[in-house]
Amino acid sequence: MRYLITANLEESDLPRGVAAIARGGAISLEQPWPFGRVLISRVDEGCETGVAKLNAVPNIVAFSVASLTEPNDGAVFVFGAHIMKDAEGMRPYIEGVSPVIAPYGCTYLARSSTVAIHAGTFEPDRVAVMQFPTAAKVAAWYTSDAYAPLLAIRLRCTEAREVLVMADGTVPDNVREIISSKVPGAHAV
């Protein structure tokens, strides 16, 4: 199984064997996400051929990464899609983030530097797909003192993109307020 991240693609246009698991409101936690509305989808084994055909769809972004585990019942997804500027400098982040993020209920669904690019001009070198129980947990983790030194590493070593996507519905107003007040680079998607 793989996880597929698309932008500017309607859920009804997903290939057979691909099902959206996050289709709700989104907010970019760092620089703007200029590629359009986001879907995070689960790609069943054997359905990669349909995903490969996405390169014929104009004006979309599509990339995928192998899964580590199945999604759970968490309501919020975060994906990080980074272009590496300093892979060696990023090592302390990769080694140190799991224990910092775990208390917030994070489950890593995918985490790899083996990324398949299917469509569009955005080509990340490393992708992580995470699932959280609530958007408030994402905001608490991302703005925590414990995460701050790791975030500094990630922002220094990558062209970073971190996007919160609701499974369904909108990002809660209180979470938008927390993020906009504490994260100067946050932007609505």
Structural element, H or E, at residue 43 = strand 38-43
- Please answer whether residues 40 and 100 qualify as being in contact, where contact means their C-beta atoms are separated by less than 8 angstroms: no
CATH code of residue 23:
3.30.70.100
CA gap 88, 113 in Å, rounded? 13
User: pLDDT value at position 49?
Assistant: 84
Q: Give the range of the structural domain holding residue 91, as residue numbers without chain letter.
A: 2-188
With b for 16 or more beta-carbon neighbours within 10 A and e for fewer, the 65-85 pattern comes to bebeeebeebbbbbbbbbeee
**Res 1 pLDDT > 90:** yes
Across residues 46-73, what is the average pLDDT?
A: 93
- In whole angstroms, give the CA distance from residue 157 to residue 115: 18
Q: Is the pLDDT of residue 66 over 90?
A: yes
CB 74 within 8 A of CB 20: no
* Cβ(131)–Cβ(74) below 8 Å: yes
pLDDT value of position 90: 96
> What total of structural domains would you count in the chain?
1
Is pLDDT above 90 for 183?
Answer: no
What average pLDDT does the chain have?
Answer: 95
Are 54 and 119 spatial neighbours (Cβ–Cβ below 8 Å)? yes
- In the prediction, which pLDDT does 185 show? 80
